[in-house]
Amino acid sequence: MAYTETTTTGYGTRVGNSFKQIGTGFLLFLAGTVLLFWNEGRTIHREQDINFADANCVEMTSPDKVDASMDGKLVHTTGKAVSNDILNDGTFPVAGNYMMIDREVEYFQVVERKEEKKRDKLGGGQETVTTYYYDTKWVDDPVNSANFHDPSMRNANGVLAQFDDQRIYAENVSFGAYKLPDFFIKSVGTAEDVAVFQDPAEYAKALTAPAADGTEVELTEDDVARACQNLNTDFSDISGNTVYYGNNPGAPQVGDVRVTFKAVKPVNDISIMAQASGDTFTKFKSKNDTFAEIRNGIQSKEEMVQAAKDENNMIKWALRLLGALLVIGGLKGIFNFLVILLKVVPFLASIMNFGVGLICTVLGIAWSLIVIAIAWLFYRPILGISLLVIAAGLIAFLVIRGKNKKPAAQPVPAGVNAGPAGTPGMQQPMPQQPMQQPYQAPQQPYQAPQAPEQTVQQPYQAPQAPAPEQPMQQPYQAPQQPYQAPQAPAPEQPVQQPYQAPQAPAPEQPMQQPYQAPQAPAPEQPMQQPYQAPQQPYPQQPQMPQQPMQDPYGQPYQQPQYPQYPQQPQYPQQPQYPQYPQQPQYPDNSGISE
């Protein structure tokens, strides 16, 4: 069954409510901050108390005899907790020799739950569709149905009977020769289901303590009547540990009541850590607070100390989470008005809502960590300052290392132009022809002599070319500075052809050797190394690929390897000489004699 209501809230009302939430947000933020700070102090103090107790605790061999030498000391001992008290519920027929009797009452009721769907409207308004659902289930207290939103479901609830929950403890519990204090009795044992008496005589007998010799006391009818005179007998069913008010326990109706009972048996194994005081125990005064521990079962001192530390850590993290959630919720309440102001445009409001939620979450977590750090500085100044110094040192180390560690420049392979700032450039295609730049003449123009009329018997040999049987071993080393040309040779030396590429030989004989530069060895001695320019050589350049070429006579010629220059040095402007865009090919003259 469902009931739906639709409400509309105007833009002005929403803005006003958002400003009212700022105060609530500040309260939540303050509560979370205080809780985080207090929790750190509580955790540290509790840990100190546990460690102090561990260091000062002594072992009591047996609690069966009161040991005066243990008086005033923190002791650890194990034994059996025993109670001879007769406990009676008083309203229902539940009684006997127990450490504790627990009564729990439940009511079968109609409960209301709701689901809301909110939709922002253009202009800043909001439409809220609320759907109310009604279910039946067992609850701990009666539900007031007069406030239900569905008029047809109002006054739907009622109860056949109403009782309070109750827990009764034994007053006298012995632990060997000692008597357990009240704060220990409430922690002894584990509650188990206990049967409800259906026979009044059995119930009356359970109320009667056995005789001193252990024999049972016989009860008269008057004794049974007096024992049952205050009992509630309006229930309709008793089953095991449950008393039921209603027609059918298997198909409960609204208003039915069930009462269940549990009890702690009178004998239980326990382990305690407390201060011995006469024939009983008290809480031990530790460094910050009192200390007293009781555990069911047989446990050593180390196990009890570890259990206390684990419990302390669990409480610490639970309160840290709660404090952080309060801080985050408070920040969202403070800055929620920014979202509401943009509700006139729902799309912008959604973006703002996401941003405010993210920022408040990050700030809330950061603030929680700051509060925890400040609490450590307050409660443990030496340790807190040491941790901050270590953290600052690590951060400084990482920052300095990041500044000093620069990426190494990668080597640029041959044929690749380096980009800006050492970045790899684009792959440079290998040239398909020899160097296009003409030879730059010396500063004074070269005066070529008049060559006598004669026919060249041998083809022209390329400059600096070694014997055809082997390739050139070293590339041409060009000078880094402008070439200072020597004085031109005497004009009486005949020249067969106009000046060709640098280092050309005399035309009178086949050129077996490359052109000898001024101050070079005699022509008869072959030059084993290319011309070495004065002063400093050029850096070695990559070799251009070898490719077959044809000379004017149609004979194949193996072209030597020519150096590739990224950029020729600029020399003073000289007269232009014939330029060869491509080196001619000549036949192999290895078989021609001089």
User: Could you read off the pLDDT of 233-275 as tens digits, one per residue?
Assistant: 778 888 889 999 998 888 999 999 999 999 999 999 999 999 9
Range of the domain at 95: 85-110+155-265
Q: Which residues contact 180 (CB under 8 A, 6 or more apart)?
A: 81, 173, 174, 188, 280, 281
Q: Quote the distance between the C-alpha of residue 447 and its chain's center.
A: 83
In this structure, is residue 31 part of a structural domain? no
Q: Is 136 in contact with 101 (CB distance < 8 Å)?
A: no
CA atoms within 13 A on the CB side of 560: 22
CB count in 10 Å sphere of residue 266: 21
What pLDDT does residue 449 have? 47
| Token code pair at residue 532 | 């070495």
- The answer to pTM > 0.75 is no
In this structure, is residue 413 part of a structural domain? no
Q: Is 51 in contact with 291 (CB distance < 8 Å)?
A: no
In this structure, is residue 247 part of a structural domain? yes
In this structure, is residue 147 part of a structural domain? no
Least Cα distance to 281 among 54, 51, 67 occurs for 67
In this structure, is residue 419 part of a structural domain? no
| Token code pair at residue 341 | 């102001």
Number of domains in the chain: 1
What pLDDT does residue 473 have? 46
Question: Poorest-confidence range of 297-306, 324-333, 528-537?
Answer: 528-537
Q: Work out the angle at residue 217's Cα, subtended by the Cα atoms of residues 211 and 220, and round it to the nearest 5 degrees.
A: 155
In this structure, is residue 117 part of a structural domain? no
Buried b (16+ CB within 10 A) or exposed e, 577-593: beeeeebbbbbebeeee
Q: Which residues contact 524 (CB under 8 A, 6 or more apart)?
A: none
In this structure, is residue 296 part of a structural domain? no
What pLDDT does residue 563 have? 55
In this structure, is residue 165 part of a structural domain? yes
Q: Quote the distance between the C-alpha of residue 419 and its chain's center.
A: 39
Residue 513's identity, in one-letter code, is: Q
Tens of pLDDT along 522-536?
Answer: 445 544 555 555 555
Mean pLDDT of the chain: 76
Q: Work out the angle at residue 468's Cα, subtended by the Cα atoms of residues 465 and 469, and round it to the nearest 5 degrees.
A: 130
Tens of pLDDT along 399-411?
Answer: 787 777 655 555 5
Greater pLDDT, 464 or 264 = 264
